[in-house]
Amino acid sequence: VSFVDAPGHETLMATMLSGAAIMDGAVLVVSASEPVPQAQTEEHLMALDIIGIDNIVIAQNKIDLVDREQARENYEGIEAFVEGTVAEGAPIVPISAQQEVNMDLLIQAIEEEIPTPDRDPGADPRMLVARSFDINRPGTTWEDLVGGVLGGSLVQGELAVDDDLELRPGREVEEGGRTEWRAVETSVRSLQAGGDPVETATPGGLLGVGTGLDPAITKGDALAGQVAGPPGTLSPVHEQFTMDVELLDRIVGDEGGEVEEVSTGEPLMLTVGTATTVGSVTSAREAECEVALKRPVCAQAGVKIAINRRVGARWRLIGYGTLRG
């Protein structure tokens, strides 16, 4: 089991959404010592609904900081908060992470509520890249250099050392005064799952893939948001697309307010899988819009897209789109 720590701060919502794309379930942590819901908790729950994660366990944390009556009121507040949402009926486990109270019950709930999904081992491998690194120390001589490393999750198929990989949308290349995005091809040099080297990797948990790529192009998460798989098997790359739009009734957060319709010309921040990009709306109708992307994405028709709008100085979640075929 691997855990992806999704940040709670509202300004890091894009990070949470890109991390959620590689999750099979979620533990929604709610503080027993604060009013329910906090803005970021409500936003995270809506994001889980958008992405389609319904295997949820709720951890009522910090019960050591409140008395029995306060804990009960908070518990009932959580029940009321999740009613009618994707988390309705999810177990609520009172815990104290600091004092390690009821951690066994939390683990039991995770075991029962977040089952291991059925996987097709014969499917073409598909990896969502969430991180990329250069693991060479400064001053490493050229003969000791190792290739760049990709971090993420294998969502289908099996990946083995020496397999060929294609990464899409790839890298931006300038040629003849024009720029275009080209797929990157490499091979798997090493695999690491759960901190241990392996020869073959299967879906579930986080995966590190050592490649033959120049580490200069992987450092600093430069390849985060890519999709990796055998050459010729990946979904199309979109520099623009049409999506069906479903908006929330209101903006989550202290300022609240109704969500206005998407309008032509406005910028949106879109999260597709582990990729986050900014798009400009080129055409907007009642329940659909066309968007031109600043950075292209590799995605198949039907995928869910989290839509964020600039509200004041922040990007706020306003709904989701479904990529048209």
Provide the pLDDT confidence category of residue 117 given band limits of 50, 70 and 90. Answer: confident
Which segment of 174-178, 197-201, 274-278 scores lowest on mean pLDDT?
174-178
Which of 78 and 179 is assigned the larger pLDDT? Answer: 78
For the ranges 19-23, 104-108, 244-248, the maximum mean pLDDT occurs at 104-108
Residue 176 has pLDDT above 90, yes or no: no
Predicted local distance difference test score (pLDDT) of residue 166 = 98
In terms of DSSP bridges, do strands 92-94 and 56-61 run parallel, antiparallel, or are they unpaired? Answer: parallel
8-state DSSP, 41: H
- SS3 state at 154: strand
- Distance between CA 124 and CA 33 in Å, rounded? 47
CB atoms within 10 A of CB 48: 23
Q: Residues 61-66: what's their mean pLDDT?
A: 97
In terms of DSSP bridges, do strands 200-201 and 275-284 run parallel, antiparallel, or are they unpaired? Answer: unpaired
Q: What is the mean pLDDT of the chain?
A: 91
Which segment of 81-90, 102-111, 118-127, 311-320 scores lowest on mean pLDDT?
311-320
Predicted local distance difference test score (pLDDT) of residue 9 = 61
What percent of the chain has pLDDT above 90?
68
Residue 254 has pLDDT above 80, yes or no: no
What percent of the chain has pLDDT above 70?
93
Q: Which structural domains are found in the chain, ordered by start?
A: 10-113 (3.40.50.300), 126-229 (2.40.30.10), 237-323 (2.40.30.10)
Structure tokens at 274: 């582990």
Q: Residues 281-308: what's their mean pLDDT?
A: 94
Which residue in the block uniquely carries the two structure tokens 């309705």? Answer: 88
